[in-house]
């Protein structure tokens, strides 16, 4: 009885391993054969700009804040520079930091798959 159980158990393990191997081989071969189509479908689903997609929402209004810093220089001795040709003495002013928000407005969808729009920018100090 013990010997019969071991043989049956061993055969079941072999059958399970064979089934798993064949299934993996078929799955891997089909993925390999269809890799370009699968890649293009995934790429098009993520990059095409259509209303309701994540790419569209990120394109219409950028979710990442953009900061711009401006520095100005004040000339302390302008009369000395122009009359006696001395080196200018400059004093740095800033940074003046602005947050820029950009939105697309007046979206027009064309038949050939292109979009016309007007870019609107806002700066917040």
> Where do we find the tokens 């700066």?
123
What is residue 2's predicted lDDT score, i.e. its pLDDT?
Answer: 52
What is residue 54's predicted lDDT score, i.e. its pLDDT?
Answer: 82
Taking 70 as the pLDDT cut, the residues of the chain under it are: 1-10
The full length of the chain comes to 125
Q: DSSP E strands: which ranges in the chain?
A: 66-75, 90-109, 115-124
CA distance 105 to 49: 15
What is residue 85's predicted lDDT score, i.e. its pLDDT?
Answer: 84
User: Which residues are CB-contacts of 91 (< 8 A; sequence separation ≥ 6)?
Assistant: 73, 74, 76
What is residue 92's predicted lDDT score, i.e. its pLDDT?
Answer: 96
**Tell me: the pLDDT tens digits for 6-22?**
555 568 888 889 999 99
* 101: preceding bond cis by omega (within 30 degrees): no
């Amino acid at each position: 009885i013990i010997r019969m159980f071991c043989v049956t158990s061993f055969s079941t393990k072999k059958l399970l391993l064979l089934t798993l191997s064949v299934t993996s081989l078929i799955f891997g071969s089909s993925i390999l054969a269809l890799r370009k189509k699968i890649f293009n479908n995934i790429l098009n689903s993520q990059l095409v700009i259509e209303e309701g997609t994540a790419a569209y929402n990120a394109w219409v209004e950028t979710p990442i804040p953009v900061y711009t810093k401006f520095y100005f220089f004040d000339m302390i001795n302008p009369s000395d520079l122009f009359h006696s040709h001395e080196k200018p003495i400059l004093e740095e002013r800033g940074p003046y930091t602005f947050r820029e928000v950009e939105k697309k407005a007046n979206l027009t969808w064309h038949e050939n798959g292109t979009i016309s729009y007007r870019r609107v920018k806002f700066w917040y100090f």
